[in-house]
Homo-oligomer: A and B are copies of this chain.
Amino acid sequence: MMKPLPTILLSLFLCSFAFAQEPGCENLFPDNAVILFQGDSITDGNRGRSADPNHIHGHGYVYLIASDLGANHPGKNWTFVNRGVSGNTVEKLQQRWEKDTIAVKPDVLSIMVGCNDFSHGVTAQEYYDRYDSLLKETVEKLPNVKLIIIEPFYRADEETLKRYAPFQKAAADLAKKYNAVFVPTQQMYSEAFQSVPKPEYWVWDRVHPTTTGHWLLYKQWLKCVKEN
């Protein structure tokens, strides 16, 4: 029996809601995947250092990603691990990489680093070379890992942003070299800074997103990972 048109329209309407609730992430990562987040304080988010599940993901984009994907795909049995450490540069990541990344055996590895290199006087070339070396080691030891590289961002005047741009280009170039998903962030934040009177609404000091600013990073990460 043919359904009448209003019923078809209603079904389609409701169906599209169901789809919006489950935004096509089913095949994002393999079943039982370990998804590891590495970086500095923006990733760390005051995460707990014990195994207490209350606090292991920190306050930030990692929490939002783990909460959303974990809740909407419970059957996938994905494990989200945060190993961000406040103040980290690429060099500091290198020093703890074996213990905090290789030993975790991630299937997916998301990295955001750069603002501390910049503020500690590391040059863009040094940043590139160290990051390159870190990624080389990573793909040698974890040949099947899926890499995600987040562009480091800054809230600053134009002159500072111009000096930071080579660091951002380095991250983009390395994402290309290592076939990683690249998550651009600077333009997104720069646009958000225009949308309300106070840029501090999104990024409260030069580098740390607010609770609301982390939402943008989470959505951007998910969008880029889904498209790749």
A residues adjacent to B (C-beta < 8 A): 9, 12-13, 16-17, 20-21, 41, 45-46, 48, 53-59, 63-64, 66-68, 70-72, 74-75, 80, 192, 195-196, 201, 204, 208, 210-216, 218-219
Question: Which residue among A9, A74, A204 has the maximum number of chain B CB atoms within 10 Å of its CB?
Answer: A74
Q: Chain B contacts of A195 at CB under 8 A?
A: 74
A58 lies within 8 A of B57 (CB):
no
Q: Chain B contacts of A208 at CB under 8 A?
A: 53-54
Q: Chain B contacts of A64 at CB under 8 A?
A: 64, 67
Q: So how many copies of this chain end up in the complex?
A: 2
With A and B bound together, what is the CA distance between A71 and B215 in angstroms? 6
Contact of A71 among B20, B80, B216 (CB under 8 A): B216
With A and B bound together, what is the CA distance between A66 and B60 in angstroms? 12
Question: Which residue among A13, A16, A71, A195 has the maximum number of chain B CB atoms within 10 Å of its CB?
Answer: A71
Contact of A67 among B55, B80, B201, B212 (CB under 8 A): B212
The residue in chain B whose Cβ has the minimal distance to the Cβ of A80 is B211
Contact of A215 among B17, B70, B212 (CB under 8 A): B70
* 19 A-B contacts (beta carbon < 8 Å): A16-B16, A17-B20, A20-B21, A46-B46, A46-B55, A53-B204, A53-B211, A54-B208, A64-B67, A66-B212, A67-B211, A67-B215, A67-B218, A68-B215, A70-B211, A70-B215, A71-B213, A71-B219, A72-B215
